[in-house]
């Protein structure tokens, strides 16, 4: 078995995406579902309940009186913020550790992921596209392949960095040249194992190379911008911070300019307390 086959095989041994969260996501996508049904779905999971209450009572929301029940919290937060918290809980346990092959200290990849996810909402508001919870999910897990590839990137770190320096290729390309697969491709394989929709898989596969996508370009471009702006804000770029092409074309596609980028960065800054509250969720 080749290295690439072995590493893809490892994806199938990853724990499945939590069933409780999948059920809750489905309910939240169903316009006929009630708060009560959602509460009933998640209330038996202590970790989730604790996380929802912790974020709800965090400084970001500035509540005078703390919220003590899941039902109150769900009503207060609304479905879209609830989705954010549920998904952050899942990704946090997978992406909270240091990913030193990519020069990311403990917590950095996760902060980058949550920031990208919040940016996907900020951007979709500006470009007047519907706020799709699927995009939030895609932005949150776009770099998950780094976690699996980390040890190998670390092992080959000198060769990869040397290639970037001498040949002027992107870190992503160097990963692929040296290991036979890059983290974007591996992230897509992981998401495929979890049976996520094709749109999310595409957005993740092409998050560094948006112009190569032949379908679902809207999702691809939005995840690309979310990731890039998180990096421009200085959040979790690590070693592959500059592996980006297609910026001008994507900006042109949405008729965005530099001022918009500055605004996105400022809006993320306004939500940074929320980022902090969500990354405490484990």
185 binds Fe ion (CB under 5 A): no
From the CB of 259, what's the least distance to Fe ion, in Å?
Answer: 23
Is residue 41 within 8 Å of residue 34, measured between CB atoms? Answer: no
From the CB of 182, what's the least distance to Fe ion, in Å?
Answer: 8
Q: Which is nearer to Fe ion, 52 or 119 (CB)?
A: 119
- Closest by alpha carbon to 88, among 36, 50, 38, 37? 50
Q: Which is nearer to Fe ion, 17 or 224 (CB)?
A: 224
- Closest by alpha carbon to 21, among 91, 118, 78? 91
From the CB of 260, what's the least distance to Fe ion, in Å?
Answer: 20
Q: Which is nearer to Fe ion, 17 or 102 (CB)?
A: 102
Q: Of the listed pieces 10-18, 44-52, 87-95, 223-231, which binds Fe ion according to CB under 5 A? A: 223-231
From the CB of 100, what's the least distance to Fe ion, in Å?
Answer: 16
Q: Distance (Å, rounded) from C-alpha 125 to C-alpha 80?
A: 14
From the CB of 226, what's the least distance to Fe ion, in Å?
Answer: 9
175 binds Fe ion (CB under 5 A): no
From the CB of 150, what's the least distance to Fe ion, in Å?
Answer: 13
Q: Which is nearer to Fe ion, 108 or 143 (CB)?
A: 143
- Looking up tokens 């929709």, which residue turns up? 197
Q: Which is nearer to Fe ion, 143 or 216 (CB)?
A: 143
Q: Of the listed pieces 119-127, 222-230, 256-264, 269-277, which binds Fe ion according to CB under 5 A? A: 222-230
227 binds Fe ion (CB under 5 A): yes
Helices (H), 30-144: 35-42, 46-56, 70-95, 108-126, 133-141
Neighbours of 78 (CB within 10 A): 11
- Closest by alpha carbon to 172, among 182, 187, 181? 182
State the binding string over 137-156 for Fe ion (x if CB under 5 A, else -). ------x-------------
Q: Which is nearer to Fe ion, 216 or 227 (CB)?
A: 227
Q: Of the listed pieces 38-46, 88-96, 219-227, 257-265, which binds Fe ion according to CB under 5 A? A: 219-227
Q: Distance (Å, rounded) from C-alpha 267 to C-alpha 119?
A: 8
From the CB of 184, what's the least distance to Fe ion, in Å?
Answer: 6
Q: Distance (Å, rounded) from C-alpha 20 to C-alpha 162?
A: 45
Neighbours of 169 (CB within 10 A): 16
Q: Distance (Å, rounded) from C-alpha 69 to C-alpha 72?
A: 5
Contacts of 80 (CB under 8 A, 6+ apart): 131, 133
Total binding residues toward Fe ion, as defined by CB under 5 A? 2
Binding residues for Fe ion, rule: CB under 5 A, are 143, 227
């Amino acid at each position: 078995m080749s290295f690439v086959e072995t590493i893809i095989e490892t994806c199938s041994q990853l724990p499945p995406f939590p069933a409780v969260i999948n059920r809750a996501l489905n309910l939240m996508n169903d316009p006929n579902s009630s708060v009560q049904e959602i509460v009933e779905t998640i209330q038996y999971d202590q970790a989730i309940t604790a996380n929802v209450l912790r974020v709800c009572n965090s400084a970001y929301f500035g509540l005078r009186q703390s919220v003590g029940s899941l039902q109150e919290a769900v009503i207060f937060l609304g479905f879209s913020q609830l989705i954010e918290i549920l998904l952050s809980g899942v990704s946090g346990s997978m992406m909270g550790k240091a990913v030193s092959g990519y020069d990311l200290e403990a917590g950095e990849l996760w902060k980058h992921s949550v920031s990208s996810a919040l940016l996907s909402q900020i951007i979709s508001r500006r470009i007047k596209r519907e706020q799709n919870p699927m995009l939030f999910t895609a932005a949150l897990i776009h770099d998950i392949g780094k976690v699996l590839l980390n040890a190998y990137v670390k092992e080959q770190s000198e060769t990869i960095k040397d290639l970037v320096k001498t040949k002027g290729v992107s870190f992503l390309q160097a990963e692929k040249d040296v290991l036979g697969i890059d983290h974007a491709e591996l992230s897509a394989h992981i998401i495929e194992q979890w049976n996520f929709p094709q749109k999310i898989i595409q957005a993740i596969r092409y998050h560094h190379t948006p112009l190569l996508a032949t379908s679902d370009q809207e999702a691809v471009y939005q995840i690309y911008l979310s990731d890039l702006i998180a990096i421009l804000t200085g959040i979790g770029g690590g070693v592959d911070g500059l592996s980006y092409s297609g910026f001008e074309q994507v900006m042109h596609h949405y008729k965005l300019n530099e001022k918009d980028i500055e605004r996105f960065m400022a809006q993320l800054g306004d939500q940074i307390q929320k980022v902090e509250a969500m990354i405490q969720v484990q």
